[in-house]
Amino acid sequence: MPMPKEARHGYIQESMVKSWREYVGQMETALNTLDEEIAEASQMSSTCTSEWCEATEHVIDEISNSLFSISEPRGTSEEDSRRIKDMKKKVHDLYAKYKSAAGK
């Protein structure tokens, strides 16, 4: 017997929010990993290699593009909105750290 329409809609909405949160969580993990890599590079006494700089800038751009184009599905919480806002700020901070590390 098929699910009632409201139950199907609720299930679909919950699935979308769950998937969205997983996606955002993976982006957050990527930002944290990138933060660690930039911190390590800034501790090096020599200038970072051009390959590292190009790859890092590319990753920052990709994450930034994804993050700033993301939309929140219906059913997300204020905490979800704050999480996205915090991640956007972190991207800006990481770019500044990257520029500082690349300039050494």
Q: Please report, for residues 10, 46, 71, the alpha-carbon distance to residue 92 in angstroms, rounded to integers and kept in the order given.
A: 36, 24, 19
pLDDT at residue number 47:
55
- The C-alpha atoms of residue 16 and residue 76 are separated, in whole angstroms, by 10
pLDDT band at 27 (very low <50, low <70, confident <90, very high): very high
Closest among 51, 29, 39, 27 to 96, alpha carbons compared: 39
pLDDT band at 67 (very low <50, low <70, confident <90, very high): very high
| pLDDT above 60 for 86 | yes
Q: Output the pTM of the full model.
A: 0.78
